[in-house]
């Protein structure tokens, strides 16, 4: 199962996209971000 107990919602994905597009994410490069619910 999934440790969080649920699938990602469109809002969950939007939060990640907003973070990656923000200045707060200036140091992250060349990463794959898996939205798996901690699995």
pLDDT tens, position by position, 13-32? 999 999 999 999 999 888 89
What is the per-residue pLDDT across 1-18, written as a single tens digit (0 to 9) for each? Answer: 678 888 889 999 999 999
Cβ contact 5:39 at 8 Å: no
pLDDT at residue 14 in the model: 96
**What does the pLDDT read at residue 39?**
67
């Amino acid at each position: 199962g999934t440790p969080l107990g649920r699938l990602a919602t469109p809002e969950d994905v939007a939060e990640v996209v907003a973070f990656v597009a923000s200045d707060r994410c200036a140091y992250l490069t060349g990463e794959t971000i898996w939205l798996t619910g901690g699995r």
